Amino acid sequence: MAALISGFSKLTKTEKIDWLAQNFLQNTKEAKEILRTYWNSDEKLQQLHDDFIENTISNFYMPYGIAPNFMINGNHYTIPMAIEESSVVAAASLVAKFWSNKGGFTAKVINTVKVGQVHFMYQGSKADLERYFSAKKDELYRATKDITKNMEKRGGGILDIELRDITSHLENYYQLHVTFETVDSMGANFINSCLEAMANVFKNNEVEIVMSILSNYVPECLVKASVSCHVDDLHPTDGALFAKKMEQAVAIANVEPHRAVTHNKGVMNGIDAVVIATGNDFRAIEAGVHAYAAKSGKYKSLTKCQIKDDVFTFSIEIPLALGTVGGLTSTHPLSKLSLEILGNPSAKELMQIIAVAGLAQNYAALRALTTTGIQEGHMKMHLVNILNQLEADAEEKEKVTLAMKGKTVSYSGVVAALEKVRA
């Protein structure tokens, strides 16, 4: 094991790699070559990537694809997706085309309220604290004036500041619960700066500030998306039966958390891929979405399915705190290109697009599960991946694919088929 190292961040990128190879890697020459292979040949672009995080030694690439044929609120979209999982982009594209012939998706932003909190401890009288808060409230707004003036010009700012008593859950624990509108920016830095300014004004000998931080749980920053058609239009042979199975699949996800987690993972396949492609924070989105799925006290499906008067409706209501200006959205070249592909949407428009991507992905997964099974599409890509690992050429891939038709794809099976082709 390598000894502790001081001053690592001050080493050059090459020196960092040399240290890593010397202490942790067996084939140092090959390892160094792999890391350098993923450097961008454009030095300016590579420096941009190096500056995103600390101790950069290389880049980690993910496939970047597009899913065409989405119709949302009457407008056509091609949606960029950054994801490494097989079948996701293909499934989204297939579902987009299917629903584009039936009026497409509808989407609506319900609200865009975001939340930040100043967490503090107070042991005195609650009545005294309430009087202190009332006396200080205007000063809390004034303390953020320089921070909020530009945001207010764009139509955003602080919506409200509320004193909350949480002492029933944790002794002496109170908070300033602050709501914000951040327009087209995700607003993390803006919100945190406002909260810290408020904390400096609010603290005194009795008010012990613990921390000031935005919340990634945004149950009031909501968007809804849906598709709808007559049950007969859902399936070429038995639309009513297909609709019923879809309804049952969602019902199962509402009562069985083991299924709900995988069900919602399918939703997030679509959402995360677009969130990453547009330079937004997929960890924040994931945390907030899964908390919302459990808001009833039990983890449930994010999507809903309804059959009424032979009309099938599939929908989602989901919290999405997104930005189209600032952060990575304004600095990463592919993020900027993704937003351009989407028509340079506002944050509200991007919320609608991403909610639709999640709904489409979940529809695709449930359709596969309730008809042919999920493995059919996955196995096609699994076969391709194995053949790539085995360095098969185009002719070999074609022959092995034909030989494996109708068979279960396994590594040993593909190896045997390839060896037979090469023999």
For 373-395, give one letter per residue: b (16+ CB within 10 A) or e. ebeebebbebbeebbeebebeee
Q: Which two tokens stand for residue 207?
A: 């008010």
* Active-site position among 290, 332, 378, 382: 378
Asked if 265 is an active-site residue, the reply is yes
Q: Residue 226 in 3-state DSSP?
A: strand
Helix or strand (DSSP H, E) at 107: strand 106-109
Per the DSSP assignment, residues forming a β-bridge with 307 are 312
Asked if 220 is an active-site residue, the reply is no
Q: Which two tokens stand for residue 404?
A: 């494996």
* Active-site position among 181, 281, 300, 304: 281
Q: Residue 310 in 3-state DSSP?
A: coil
Q: Which two tokens stand for residue 411?
A: 């590594």
Cα–Cα dist 249/233, whole Å: 19
Q: What is the largest CA-CA distance in the chain?
A: 87
Sign of the torsion formed by the C-alpha atoms of 149, 151, 154 and 155? negative
Q: Where does 203-238 have alpha helices with state H?
A: none
140 close to 203: Cβ distance less than 8 angstroms = no
298 close to 327: Cβ distance less than 8 angstroms = no
Asked if 235 is an active-site residue, the reply is no
Cα separations (Å) of 107 from 169, 266, 333, 349, 353? 38, 19, 28, 9, 8
Q: Residue 391 in 3-state DSSP?
A: coil
Asked if 232 is an active-site residue, the reply is no
Smallest CA-to-CA distance from 116 within 148, 162, 185 is with 162
Q: Enter the DSSP assignment of 303.
A: E
Per the DSSP assignment, residues forming a β-bridge with 76 are 71
* Active-site position among 33, 51, 85, 232: 85
Q: Enter the DSSP assignment of 9.
A: G
Smallest CA-to-CA distance from 231 within 293, 310, 178 is with 310
SS3 content of the chain, % helix, strand, coil (to 5): 50, 20, 30
Helices and strands (DSSP H and E) totals, the chain: 16, 10
Strands 173-181 and 114-121 come out as: antiparallel
* Active-site position among 97, 230, 245, 265: 265
Positions marked active-site:
85, 265, 281, 378
